[in-house]
Amino acid sequence: MIVALDATPLTLSSGGLRRYTSELAGALAAGFPEDEIWLVCDQPLVRPPGGRPNLKVGAAPKNLLERRWWLWGLHRELARRKADVFHGTNFAVPYWSRRPTVLSFHDLSPWMDPAWHHAANRVQRRTPLMLRRATMVLTDSEAVRRHAIERFSIPAGRITAVSLAAASHLRPVEARPAAPYFLYLGALEPRKNIPMLVEAWREVRQRHHVELVLAGRRRADFPALPEEPGLRLAGEVADEDLAALYSGAVACLYPSFYEGFGLPVLEAMQCGAAVIASRDAAITEVAGGAAVQLEARDTRAWIEAMRAALEDPAWLAGWRRKALVRAREFSWSRTARLTREVYAEARRFAARP
């Protein structure tokens, strides 16, 4: 099978979409060496280091006509590569296509709260049409699959949930931080409920000398946080430093109002970190009972859980053990295998008279 993946997320410096596209492409190439996996994009791409020979990078637009990527350029590139199926990894497929397409629909956050996305109106106008055009739709969790079926009346046979995984290099490592810290890792954006987290940490810090590390890219619509003792804004963290950052934390905190999957939760668990997270449906699905889960707006409950992590070593060790056991149930090889089954189903569906 010749598969073309939308590699636009690889032009981002970090984030879940970049991780998803990179890990899926590598796992597909490794798991199915007889296939060709093409990364296609309207911007120049560098072939991933250490990639398999069957993981290939397409050409950038060759002329002004092809720069109109979604209208003309992508179609020409797919024809050049003789692609059997196109996978839109970032909520998008061509409005018209001569070949089967699979659309990754990661979450419904643009429809949940207008304050969470500065471009929500554009996404709301475009995505329903994309969902109708796609041969098959992929979601990262059953929670999003159910919600998408209800919201957009997608036939159940055209939409499949395939869970993500944490990168294989994320494993428990020995870490000796200079001071104890709680960790939040993810984008700094309105949906992530960061102000509540900072407020809870301030209360905990009155009794315990513990820092709060906020790691991740700050989106333009997220207000800057004032400097204060113990609050560390780490920015984007290099891949090679993630395992130590997760492993060294007292606990990893993820108070998001809404998620399509919650990949940092699984990454932290695979590093053996205790996780305290919100009671979001997708996070609940991922955590599988191996994380402390609280109502996102219940500041008092977050304070109490953070204090327990600092004051009760046996309680903390128990959650770390549960996290490691749960994380073993996920792998990118499994994700790639199930995703390829969706590609095959898209081809069968498109071939029906």
Do the domains 2-165+332-351 and 181-327 sit in the same CATH topology, yes or no?
yes
Instruction: Write phi, then psi, for 20 (nearest 5 degrees).
Output: -60, -50
pTM: 0.92
* Listed residue (263, 303, 268, 305) closest to 280, CA to CA: 263
**Domain 181-327 bears CATH identifier 3.20.20.70:** no
Cβ-Cβ contacts under 8 Å for 73 (sequence gap 6 or more) = 42, 61, 65, 66, 67
* Listed residue (18, 87, 17) closest to 341, CA to CA: 87
Report pLDDT digits (tens) over 133-183. Answer: 999 999 999 999 999 999 999 999 999 999 999 999 999 999 999 999 999
pLDDT along the chain (353 residues), means of 10: 95 84 96 97 82 90 83 90 96 88 94 77 80 95 97 96 96 94 95 97 97 94 90 93 97 97 97 98 98 98 98 98 98 98 94 75
pLDDT, position 260:
96
Q: Where are the domains of the chain?
A: 2-165+332-351, 181-327
The token pair that represents 258 in the structure block: 């809404």
Determine the Cα–Cα distance for residues 42 and 36; give it in Å rounded to an integer: 19
* CATH code of the domain occupying 2-165+332-351: 3.40.50.2000
pLDDT, position 98:
85
Q: What is the mean pLDDT of the chain?
A: 93
If one counts every other C-beta atom within 10 angstroms of the C-beta of residue 119, the result is: 9
Report pLDDT digits (tens) over 18-44. Answer: 899 999 999 999 999 999 999 999 988
